[in-house]
Amino acid sequence: MAIANSLAMHQAIATTQQESHQPPAAPFTIDQAHTVMQYHVACRANRCPRKAAALHALVEGGRMVLSISKPQ
């Protein structure tokens, strides 16, 4: 029986393992950035370098526009 990779499992890892918050060695692709944003949904981009890098990739790729009224 294969182990399913659920979003909840990845979120638990992302919030408990400090190394999972490190910035990437290379910029994220759009697809990678979307995945990171899902896994780090509970993180703030100003405190999580990995989510910040994903956010940057999505903004630079024209997939997201930052809000000027809400914190990241």
- Per-residue model confidence as pLDDT tens digits over 4-13: 566 666 666 6
Work out the percent of the chain whose per-residue pLDDT is above 70.
71
Q: Is residue 17 a contact partner of residue 50, using CB atoms and an 8 Å limit? A: no
pLDDT greater at residue 38 or residue 71: 38
- Is a pLDDT exceeding 80 seen at residue 49? yes
Structure confidence at residue 2 as a pLDDT band (50, 70, 90):
very low
- Per-residue model confidence as pLDDT tens digits over 21-43: 899 999 999 999 999 999 888 88
Q: HEC states along the chain?
A: CCCCCCHHHHHHHHHHCHHHHCCCCCCCCHHHHHHHHHHCCCCCCCCCHHHHHHHHHHHHCCCCCCCCCCCC
Neighbours of 64 (CB within 10 A): 17
Model pTM score: 0.72
